[in-house]
Amino acid sequence: MHLYCKVHTKIGDFRIACSSKGVTAISPGTETDTTFEATYRKRLGIKPDNGVVPDVYKQALRAAVQGQKTPSVPIDWSGFTPFQEKVLKTLLKVPAGNVQSYSWLARRAGFPKAARAVGNVMANNPVPFLIPCHRIVPASGGVGNYGLGKKLKHELLTREGAVIK
């Protein structure tokens, strides 16, 4: 069974979804339930039910948006391609307060010529905050783009204590 609920955080509301294997999605709470469910169904082939999500998942989301240490929570990797999973699991090794480039992540994940493809994985990360795609920035400096807005990306990095060029 796939469930989701709305979570109130200090930076706004988000929807968090999970399966029995772990967290499957996080998205802005500004979209409607219908839109969230349709996007979820398109990605995973399953319609999630509005229901009770484990408190530890909600606590992890709240901590992550504050730049705090997050409780370890499982991610359900079943909706990812092997390439996406490899890149995102490598990303999980970038500690809070650190930033790395797309090309660095591509090399570390074992795909040294795939920096653009890595950028696409970051842009389509369905579990932002818990899979911290905001820690990947352009080698040329600055924060780069972010699906939830550059301002929020900068804020998240600053909360984590990252130094941004």
Residue numbers annotated as active site: 133
Least Cα distance to 100 among 162, 45, 13 occurs for: 162
In whole angstroms, what is the distance from residue 103 CA to residue 112 CA?
7
How open is the CA angle 128-149-164, to the nearest 5 degrees? 85
- Report the half-sphere exposure of 77 (CA within 13 A, side-chain side): 11
